[in-house]
Structure 1
Amino acid sequence: MNIPNFLTSLRIFLIPVLIVIYYLPWEGRYYASAAIFGIAAITDWLDGFLARALNQSTPFGAFFDPVADKVMVSVALVILVAAYDNPLMTLASAVIVGREIVISALREWMAEMGKRASVAVSFVGKFKTTMQMIAIFILLSNAPGTGWADFGLFVLIIAALLTLWSMYIYLKAAWPELSASKSNDS
């Protein structure tokens, strides 16, 4: 177990902690939940940085890091959809989670074809992730119906739009493979 893998594992451990803290009947739950999510978001960046800097990349980390990220974001969005009871929150969250499923499947399929590099992470994807993390942090740290919560929802909608844009970029890059006619060799 190296430091990057420990940080990835920490993110998975923080998921049930986030759920429990958010639902505690305690005034500080919003700030505590946001802090937990913030720690997870920082470890998302830090584990990749350390894996490269310390030359500690492992198959476990390569597999588990994106899983930990997607599960943490998905769980946080489910919590927020339940808490906010807002159609825009639900739509933005569905777009974000749906895109993650589509792109994960696309990357797996492209890897099977030996073309995973054509759907590597783009700048738009990284920017989308940053906006998404900021939005979730703001939403977790504020009670529904407050001005900051409304701002957080606005940022989440921007993240959902960036999500659609990044999905378009990935699908466009993969389109030659997706639209190829089946070979007569089978």
Structure 2
Amino acid sequence: MRWTIPNILSVLRLIAAPMVAVMFLYFTRPWADWFALCLFLVASVTDWFDGYLARAWGQETKMGAMIDPIADKAMVVIALMVLVGYSGAHWTPWLVLPATVILFREVFVSGLREFLGDVAGTLKVTKLAKWKTATQMVAIAFLFGQGVFEHYLGMSVIGMDQEIVDAVMTGETEDLLGLRWKFEGMVWTGRTGLVLLWIAAALTAVTGFDYFKKSLPHLKD
């Protein structure tokens, strides 16, 4: 393997994927949410940089071509697993279906590529597939952000009874702890993340079907 900068970035992103889950094992929330969010954002940025630098510097390698999609899938799959496992009961039902579609597609296409072997390399990645990956990563980043707001809000209302919280939220009592902006941040990051995740799930299903359709001629006996 040639240890070029693009390849190093791809390997670091691959290592970062399981670290997203590890954050929730060794840190309390919201620190775990913060660390997972930062780690995911940095890894997502390197996804663009390693491909751009490899093309710009003429450093495209077979190893890089193999590691890059694996790292992308590992980041998305592990992050979705963490989000579904640690999300509140209010959000979980809306997360499960799009997460299931995304996970099913990734497993299905990975198995199909393994079966096709060398032929899989001739099935080019479409622009829609790249948009799919980008949408997944942005959606997951928003959902990690939702966890940050949710836990800061929860920490702020410790010791308050529901009447005081309601009075603050309706403006009857001065909002000294910033409950309203924390609540709005939680709601809008959560909703934005969910909408983007459903869009990503739709793109994932379309690109998965497109890949299957392209592979049909190679599946005939």
Whether these two folds match at TM > 0.5 is yes
Partner of 1:149: 190
Report % sequence identity: 37
The normalised TM-score by structure 2 is 0.73
2:97 maps to 1:88: no
2:121 maps to 1:116: yes
Residues 174 and 17 of structure 1: CA distance in aligned 2, closer, same or farther (over 3 Å): closer
Deviation at 1:18, TM superposition (A): 2.1
2:13 to 11, 14, 18: 11
3-state SS in 1 of match to 2:60: coil
What aligned pairs does 1:63-102 form with structure 2 within 5 A after superposition? 63-84=66-87, 85=89, 86-102=92-108
Partner of 2:165: none
In structure 2, C-alpha distance between the alignment counterparts of 1:81 and 1:115, rounded to whole Å: 31
Residues 157 and 2 of structure 1: CA distance in aligned 2, closer, same or farther (over 3 Å): same
In structure 2, C-alpha distance between the alignment counterparts of 1:57 and 1:116, rounded to whole Å: 14
Deviation digits for residues 119-139 of structure 1, max 9, x if unmatched? Answer: 211121111111111100100
Partner of 2:137: 133
Deviation at 1:4, TM superposition (A): 0.7
CA contact (8 A) 1:31 1:142 kept: no
2:176 maps to 1:174: no
- Which protein is bigger by CA-based radius of gyration? 2
2:45 maps to 1:39: no
Deviation digits for residues 33-75 of structure 1, max 9, x if unmatched? Answer: 2221111111111111111111112222122111111111111
In structure 1, C-alpha distance between the alignment counterparts of 2:113 and 2:17, rounded to whole Å: 25
Instruction: Give the AA of the match of 2:134.
Output: T
CA contact (8 A) 1:92 1:156 kept: yes
CA contact (8 A) 1:93 1:160 kept: yes
CA contact (8 A) 2:13 2:71 kept: yes
Runs of 4+ with >4 A deviation: none
Instruction: Give the AA of the match of 2:116.
Output: M
Residues 174 and 13 of structure 1: CA distance in aligned 2, closer, same or farther (over 3 Å): closer
3-state SS in 1 of match to 2:198: helix
The normalised TM-score by structure 1 is 0.85
CA contact (8 A) 1:74 1:97 kept: yes
Q: Which stretches in structure 2 are left out of the alignment for 5+ residues?
A: 151-182
In structure 2, C-alpha distance between the alignment counterparts of 1:115 and 1:79, rounded to whole Å: 30
Aligned length: 178
Instruction: Give the AA of the match of 2:20.
Output: L
CA contact (8 A) 2:18 2:75 kept: no
Q: Which stretches in structure 1 are left out of the alignment for 5+ residues?
A: none
In structure 2, C-alpha distance between the alignment counterparts of 1:92 and 1:11, rounded to whole Å: 24
In structure 2, C-alpha distance between the alignment counterparts of 1:42 and 1:149, rounded to whole Å: 21
